[in-house]
Structure 1
Amino acid sequence: MIHEYALEPTVLSAWASNHRDYAEFLREYGLGTPRIVSSFPKRKPSKLRSYLLQHGPQDAQSLSGRRYTEMVIKLTESVVIRDALDHQASAWSDAAIAENHRAPFGVILSSSAIEAENNVTPDSMYLEGSAWNHCGQMEVKRTNSGIFSVVGDLLRLSSKHILIIDPFGWSAEAINFIRFMVHGISRDRLTDDLPKIVLFFKEKRGGVNAGGGSPSADHVKNQVMQGLGEKFGNIEFEVFELRETTVGDVFHNRCILTEHGGVVTGHGIGVSGNESHTDEVFLMSADIYQKKWQQFMELKCFCVVSSA
């Protein structure tokens, strides 16, 4: 549901000169959308920003120049990092083709057609079957591979944080999915930087009628790490057991967030494994994403019962 876009500066510059294209870019690219721009042909967002600004309209103070600058600032707020070679000496299209052969982009958006199956242009992007079209919600099978098939790119493209928010993230089924996920994001990576994984689950109090309570964060972390083995011994993994407060919001929705966006699932990561069971996954809008990020990363709404 999140796709890495290699974006030619010429396209961005042309959009800046047209009010409709400018408005569509602000709506259709960046955080809260399926389209996240690649750091190509650079690695660091700051280098990409400088590179793009160098290729903008000559008059930076003109209307199109100011729009272009705003567009560059927006797209570099959330960038897919890839350990690409510096292709500055090559034509952008030639460099994009070479890099796409090395590690395919989700989509290459160029001013004119190039030799790549995942290429679209401003003239072809709206055609039926275009690679530009992406779903904002999908039905999945409630299996490890079923969920990962939809959220895999969101997770694989992350190099900073993966937040898993699930009231029952302590369950055996959820722990099994986290192990499956770690193995999945280690393949076909664009950078050697592995993201830090943070799991938030809700305290469940045991009792005569309620059954057993939730285990501690330390227990859940140990269960995950023991199942991963020595290969992933250095991965950063934190776990928080949370309790709702009387003045804060409730802990109910199941979400997965990275620096590139987030999704909401109905049942969460505790999959049944039954091929006939289904769930729905929805892409978060930017404002809902920001709300969830603040709620859990800043922990303002919940009390920490245990952590590891």
Structure 2
Amino acid sequence: MIYEVAIDPEILLEWAQSERDTCFYYKDYGNGTPRILSTFPKSKVHKLRSYLIKKIDVLEKVEDQIRYEEMVKSLGRHVYQRDCENIDSSIGWYENVANQSTSFDIVLTKQRIECKNSISLKDLYNSDVYKLKNEISFSRNSEDFIKVIKNLLQLTSERVIVIDPYAYTDDAIKIIADMLIELSKRRNKSKHVEFTVVYKGKIERNADKAPYAKAYKQLLLNKLSEPLENITIKVLHIAENEGSDAFHNRYILNELAGIKLGYGLGFKEDKKHHTDEASILDEDIYNKLWRKYVTQLEFDIVSTD
């Protein structure tokens, strides 16, 4: 559902010359869409901004320069920080694309080129790249589910938050273990990732079926056959309070985007024919959830580990 996109800088310069194209850029790329921009040919967002802003003098009109500058400034934290390889400043953008050992999901170019997953601007609006869906249906089994969230996990560089009130069931723990295995295959393994599971409990211990966080983590680790490289598992066992929102919906977030699920992660082996829907979160909803479960937790903490 989520795809890394490398965009030819010449396209950004062209889009900046049209108010309509600039609006399409904001609408179709970044958080809340299936298309996550890459920092290529740089490895950091601020370096990408510096690289792009140096090209502004190509634009003759002041209004075009203003639009371009705003486009570059909009490249915030929701950009995938690629571990760029073999970048040679003496050759062109296209040649450096070809030098990457890890291919991009989409390479958007001004001219048609011979490159895996490339699409030219001329062909864009008739291509499958432009028709990517924000919501899809999948069968409720591990194999189909991992296909849905595979790229979200593989594009993670910082953290994953799995939010499910009933993530403590045995069926859910199995699926979360599969998610960790997929996360271990991420594209940039040099980055340390924090993987957090958030589930619901009750302050009154005798009324709570959910295990404490420490016990939960051990149940999860028991499902893994090998240690995870550069991944820290964190468990957050929380309870609703009078001032909190209800804890009901299920989400998977990383630093780039978020996905909402209709049902929980407790997939039943004997009901693999059941289906569910996964949808990409709108940016405003994503930001709300990030505050709610990450930066400004509004629930009571029952236990954590």
The one-character-per-residue Cα deviations of 1:7-45 (angstroms, maximum 9, x if unpaired) are 111000100010100011111111111111111111111
Q: Find the counterpart in structure 2 of residue 293 from structure 1.
A: 290
- Whole-angstrom distance in 2 between the partners of 1:205 and 1:277: 34
| Amino acid aligned to 1:297 | V
Shift of 1:172: 1.0
Shift of 1:299: 4.2
SS in 2 for 1:126: helix
Q: Find the counterpart in structure 1 of residue 78 from structure 2.
A: 78
| Amino acid aligned to 1:306 | S
CA contact (8 A) 1:225 1:233 kept: no
| Cα distance, 1:161–1:110 mapped onto 2, change above 3 Å | same
- Whole-angstrom distance in 1 between the partners of 2:113 and 2:181: 34
Gapped regions of structure 2 (runs ≥ 5)? none
Q: Find the counterpart in structure 2 of residue 125 from structure 1.
A: 124
Matched, 1:237 2:236: no
- Whole-angstrom distance in 2 between the partners of 1:189 and 1:233: 13
Deviates most, 20-29 or 131-140: 131-140
Shift of 1:247: 1.5
- Whole-angstrom distance in 2 between the partners of 1:291 and 1:24: 24
| Cα distance, 1:34–1:60 mapped onto 2, change above 3 Å | farther
- Whole-angstrom distance in 1 between the partners of 2:75 and 2:205: 50
Aligned residues: 303
Q: Find the counterpart in structure 1 of residue 258 from structure 2.
A: 262
CA contact (8 A) 1:142 1:278 kept: yes
Q: Find the counterpart in structure 1 of residue 52 from structure 2.
A: 52
CA contact (8 A) 1:41 1:87 kept: no
| Cα distance, 1:234–1:160 mapped onto 2, change above 3 Å | closer
Deviates most, 217-226 or 231-240: 231-240
| Cα distance, 1:111–1:35 mapped onto 2, change above 3 Å | same
- Whole-angstrom distance in 2 between the partners of 1:117 and 1:61: 35
Q: Find the counterpart in structure 2 of residue 174 from structure 1.
A: 172
RMSD (Å) for aligned C-alpha atoms: 2.1
SS in 2 for 1:124: helix
Gapped regions of structure 1 (runs ≥ 5)? none
| Cα distance, 1:20–1:233 mapped onto 2, change above 3 Å | closer
Residues 215-254 of structure 1 mapped to structure 2, 5 A cutoff: 215-232=211-228, 235-254=231-250
SS in 2 for 1:134: coil
Q: Find the counterpart in structure 2 of residue 189 from structure 1.
A: 187
TM-score (norm 1): 0.92
Matched, 1:305 2:302: yes
Shift of 1:186: 1.9
| Amino acid aligned to 1:296 | Y
The one-character-per-residue Cα deviations of 1:64-115 (angstroms, maximum 9, x if unpaired) are 111111111223431112211223221111111222xx11101001111110
Q: Find the counterpart in structure 2 of residue 94 from structure 1.
A: 95
Q: Find the counterpart in structure 2 of residue 112 from structure 1.
A: 111
SS in 2 for 1:232: coil
Shift of 1:196: 0.9
Matched, 1:64 2:64: yes
Residues 17-36 of structure 1 mapped to structure 2, 5 A cutoff: 17-36=17-36
CA contact (8 A) 1:5 1:107 kept: yes
- Whole-angstrom distance in 1 between the partners of 2:205 and 2:93: 64
TM-score (norm 2): 0.93
